[in-house]
Structure formats: C-alpha cells, structure tokens
Structure 1
Amino acid sequence: MSMPQVTLAGKSVGRIGYGLMQLTWNPKPPAEEVSFAAMKAAADAGATAWSTAMFYGPPTDQSANVRLIGNFFKKYPEYKDKITIVLKGGHDENMHPVSKNIVEFVRGEIRKAESLLGGKKVDVFSFARIPPGVEPEELFTALKQCRDEGLFAAVGASETGVETLEKVQKIVDIAVLEIEVSLWSYEKDIQDAIAWSAKNKVPIYAYSPLGRGFITRTYKSPEDIPEGSFQKGLPRFQGEAFYENLKLVDRLDEMAEAKGVSTAQLALAWILTLSPYTIPIPGSSSPSRVQGNCDAANVKFTDEEIGKINQILSTFELKGDRYMAGLHSLSMR
C-alpha cells in the first residue's frame, strides 16, 4: 500500500518522515553500512522527508550526519532527487547558538552542507532554536535574505511557539515547523502549534514521536540508558518518574495489542490524526523497524479508539518536564 502524501516546500513527501539524528549523535553509532540499509528502507517505503542537522555528531565531527547522507548519495545516486532535506543549524563549533553575523554564518553552513551532500541543494533550513538575545524578527529576516539569495529553497522554524510564528510568518513563509509531538509530549503549547499549523497549512515535523524510545520500551530502567545519551539528563527518564511514566506505556500497549498493531504504530498513527499536515519523523537503524514505522501511515482509527486515547491522555499525569532546566527556556519560544 502506498504511503499518503503531503506537500513540503513544494514537494510531495510521505506522511511519515525519517529522523537521522541517532545514526550519528549517539554514544555507539551504527556502522555506516547499517545506517545505509535503514536509510534505503525509509526511502523505499515512502519516507522521503529527512531531518538532519549540522551538529548531529560528536565534537570531533559535528557534521557527521550530513556527511552520512552525502555518502549514502554517493553509493545510491538514484535516491538523491527523491529525498527532501530539512536541515537545522545555527550553532558554532563549540555548540553555542550563533547570535551575530547570522547571514554570513548561514552562507558558510550551507556551503559546507552542499559540499558534504555532493552538491544536493538543501530544501529547508532552520535554526534549531532562536538564539538568546536575538529577536525572532531579526533571525527570520536574515533567513529570508539567505533564501532569497538561493542558498536553500525554503525557511523552516524549530521549537517555535504560536505567538512568534504569527510574527515571523509576516516576514517569510514558514515551510515546516519542527516541534516535539508524541503521546507523552502533547502540552498546551504543542496543541496550539498544531492548530496554527492546520489553519495555515504549514507541515509539522513531529520529532521524537516515540518519546525518545520510551514508548517503545527501549529502556527497561533508568540504569539501562547509556552514559552520554541525551535521555540520561531528561527529567522524564529519571528515577521514580521513569517508572510512573511507564504506566502510560502499559495502557498504550494494551490498546495496540487489541488493535493488532505495534505500540510504535499506534503512536505514529495517532499523530497523523491531529492534522492533515503532521509528519512524524521517527528514527531507527533497523530496516524492519523503519518499515513498520512507515506502515503506520495507513493505520486508521475508529471514533471510539480516538476517544479512548484522548481519555488516557486527559487523565494520565506525566512526571517530569520535556527538557532539563537549561534547555527548557529555549523551547517553544
């Protein structure tokens, strides 16, 4: 069965996308050939909208993720025109947000990205966060200039709230909004952003749609989380909160089993019901798991099932914030 489509930056892409972060920003990244198999599986299944960033790599090779994609295109050049690249940037070599000479910085980032991608143009570029001390209007005016120079096809927004979106949409058309959306990340500001997306027909890249592995029980306890993993510092993965939050997964597992789908498929298919413009971007290095995630695009819910999910979400109280204190202030600005 073919995957349903949505328009992103003027291109038709699958309703399920592909997030590549964990292929390189990982204490133990998979071998390149392992990643290639998963990337090929995603493209073949219709997940042609890919999410990457100029800083998805270790300190010694921050551009590792973009390099990986470029190496994939070298081996499989027939996929180069099939993939829509949404690239985040805006951090210097020390991972500090760039707040000055933004246009000049972006020019350099895009030149480097295109070189790593073997000359493929970036479809959408966004700053991962609005830098502290920079007004949103200033940032998006700079990004518009870069787009108008032909550096990339369209401007995206990341972790941006509705109030800011209303302002910057008057400066430049937003091609995609990247925010965290999942069955355990569905706070009021996220719901408002989804409503704004539907009203303005702007696609949403729903990152971490499986709760950074929590919804799929990647970890059985906080001690299972490897040192160096981002999850290690997140409040929802800590101590007693971890075990309390597992009770949500217990209920989701029951629903998925009754429906005859995996819990991951249940979670991804639910995101698709929130708006015609949501694009979950799960990541995996397993071709079979990638295929299973993509199959979620064709899972349908009854009104009764949606009602049951809504009832679970309205009554279950998650323990812990989405981010640690240092990053929380930069989210949904």
Structure 2
Amino acid sequence: MRTTTLGGSGLEVGVIGLGCMGMSWGYDMLGRDQATSIEVIHRAVDLGCTLIDTADQYGPFTNEELVAKALRERRDEVVVATKGGLVVDDPQTFASHRDGRPEHIRKAFHDSLRRLRTDHVDLYQLHRVDPAVPIEETWGTMAEFVAEGKARALGLSEVSVEQIERAHAVHPVASVQTELSLWSREPLLDGVLDHCRERGITFIAYSPLGRGFLSGRIFGSSDLPQVDGRHRTPRFQPEALAANQAVVAPARELAERLGVTVPQVSLAWVLAQGTHVVALPGTKTLRYLEENARAADLVLPEDARKALADVPAPVGTRY
C-alpha cells in the first residue's frame, strides 16, 4: 500500500489505516465478536493498513485491551495510536466530558500504556481540547511523554487552526484527526486541511465513510443494528436518512461506472484531498476491510472529482 509519514515524526503508515472504535464502542452493541475483530486487525497489518487507532474512551477502556491482544506478537509492525482527554459518564448513552488537566492526562496516558501492554505509544492524541484548560498546559504535559521516550509523536483531534498553532508553539504537532467525508467537509471550509498541508502535519480523516452511511447500504433506520449509537445522531434520523440519499447517489453512480464500490469511491475522494491525508475507516468485517484497503490504489478521474464536489450538504448535524 502507498504510504505517508506522520508529520515530521518519521513514522511511516499506510494511507488507509484501521479505526478500531466500532469493535468495542458506538456501533452495533450486540454484534461484537472479539475473535473476528482480532482477525481483522491481523489482516489489516498484512494489507499495509499499519495505523491502528484506538482510545481510552472506547469501551470505555476495553478497545485498547483488544488492540493489545491482537498486536501481542506484531507490535513492531504497526503504528499504534491512542487518545486521551475524554471521560465517559454513561456508557449506555455514550455521554462523555472533556478533561485536559495535566494530572488527568498524565494518568490517562500511563493507564493506556498499561492496557496496551507496551512501553511506548507511537502516536498519542488529545481526543478533544478542554475549554477549561489552556491547551498549552495539556500539550506541555503530553510533550513530557515524548521527552521520556514513552510517546514517539503527538496529535490533536477536532481542533481549529488557532488551537493547532498554539499547540505547535509548545511541541510539534504530527497529526490532526478530524471527521472528513463526502458528507462532512468542514475541514475543507475552516482551513484546517490546508493549514495541515502548509505545516507538514498529517491529516487523519476519521469516519471517511460517514459512519457507514457512505457504504451505500443504509437507506433507513431499519438498516442499522437494533442497538447502535447512530440511532441517537441527527443525520441518522428517518427523515434525514431519506434526504441524505442525495449525498450518496453521485458516489453510487460513479462506482457503477468505474466498476468499483461506493465505499471505494468515498475513500478515494478523501485521499484525493492531499498527499498528507490518511483515511481511517473502521470495520469489524474482513470483507469490508479488504474492500477499503483496495481504495488506496483508486485514482478518481477529473470528471468524477468534479461530480463529487457538487454533492449537496447533508441534512442533520454530526452530533
């Protein structure tokens, strides 16, 4: 698989990674199979999807343990990325709050090391900026982990250009992880994607398949698993799902014309936003993993990119 480097860290990763959240958190709460998830992680490494992303929030905590189990004999083949700074209040509703206090970040980081069964994290990310704590304080604490040799690089998630610059003044930002897909184009509009390119920062696009909507297989609420966090989100409400078929329709038409799948078109569009972009789809299924990985080689023709540029804005907010 084509690769890129995470900012100035020297860490090389495939341009398509693997987001592990859905294996333990958020989606299909009844359809979990740890053995299959481990098999998917192993196959991802084989395919070159070497950025393996998790967080202490997912589970909470259990996703890091799952990743550790899967990578027990393959740790040196991957770039392990985890996150801290979000604390779960209610696992049933997924309610969480932000905590960027240095004492919390320090404890969260070392707890993640323990659960991941490793002496270092390749990429440690601030899951969300805590508005009650200056980002310089949080980021300065995280920089200590690099100085101690316990983290190789640091990243941010869901941040503004100003926040990137404030953090970067304290310690280099290797990556920024933000939602980007055909129906979540905010980073193209708020300057974050371009700023990352100018700064030599890798942009990690999470939910590049629109939390499964851009698979082209979700037409209504009944197409979602019965117990699934997406039932709570505005874009997955019945009326919004019906209206949002207009978002996926052009990708479906292009996929048919090009002889590929809707997810492959959607992922190729994300990767086409820049050589500094890594797409981070999540899946618990080997078939979809292999389908996603093949998108790394798909180059959309110019007319296809223009058609996708005119996709209408989605109905409903992200959260």
Whether TM exceeds 0.5 here: the answer is yes
The 3-state SS of whatever aligns with 1:250 is helix
SS at 1:81's partner residue?
helix
Deviation at 1:105, TM superposition (A): 2.5
2:202 is matched with: 203
| Conservation of the 8 A alpha-carbon contact between 1:55 and 1:89 | yes
**Alpha-carbon distance in structure 2 between the residues aligned to 1:90 and 1:17:** 22
Letter matched to residue 30 of structure 1: R
Within 5 A, what are the aligned runs for 1:137-216? 137-187=136-186, 192-216=191-215
Alignment pair present for 1:67 and 2:74 = no
Instruction: Indicate conservation of the 8 Å contact 1:144/1:155, yes or no.
Output: yes
CA distance in 2, matches of 1:307, 1:246: 19
Q: Alignment length, in residue pairs?
A: 309
**SS of 1:177 mapped into structure 2:** strand
Whole-angstrom CA distance in 1 between matches of 2:313 and 2:157: 26
Aligned: 1:231 with 2:230:
yes
User: Which letter maps to 1:49?
Assistant: L
Can you give the 5+ residue segments of structure 2 that lack an aligned partner in the other structure? 90-95
Matches within 5 A, 1:14-93: 14-25=14-25, 26=27, 27-57=29-59, 62-74=60-72, 77=73, 79-92=74-87
Q: Normalized against structure 1, the TM-score is what?
A: 0.87
| CA distances 1:55-112 after superposition (whole Å, capped 9, x unpaired) | 100xxxx2111100111123xx0x2101101111113463432243x1x333322322
| 2:12 counterpart letter in structure 1 | S
After superposition, the CA RMSD in angstroms is: 1.8
**Aligned residue number for residue 12 of structure 1:** 12
Please list the CA deviations of residues 223-250 of structure 1 after superposition, one character each: whole Å capped at 9, or x if unmatched.
4434552212221111311101012212
Which residue type is aligned with residue 239 of structure 2? E
Residue 64 of structure 2: SS of its match in structure 1?
helix
Using the TM superposition, give the Cα deviation of residue 181 of structure 1 relative to its aligned residue in structure 2, in angstroms: 0.3
Contact 1:54–1:88, Cα closer than 8 Å, also in 2? yes
> Residues 80 and 120 of structure 1 are in contact (CA less than 8 Å); yes or no, is this contact kept in structure 2?
no
| Percent identity (aligned) | 29
The alpha carbon displacement at 1:190 in A equals 5.3
Deviation digits for residues 246-271 of structure 1 (CA, Å, limit 9, x no counterpart): 12212210111101110100011111
- The alpha-carbon deviation at position 123 of structure 1 amounts to 0.8
Whole-angstrom distance in 1 between the partners of 2:187 and 2:33:
39
- Runs of 4+, deviation exceeding 6 Å: none
Contact kept in structure 2, 1:87 and 1:126, CA below 8 Å: yes
Please report how far the alpha carbon of residue 120 of structure 1 lies from its aligned counterpart in structure 2 after TM superposition: 4.7
1:204 match: secondary structure? strand
| Counterpart code for 1:66 | E
The separation in 1 between residues aligned to 2:295 and 2:314, in whole angstroms, is 25
Distance 1:276 1:176 in 2: 13
Question: Using the alignment, how far apart are the partners of 2:275 and 2:188 within structure 1?
Answer: 19
Shift of 1:191: 5.5
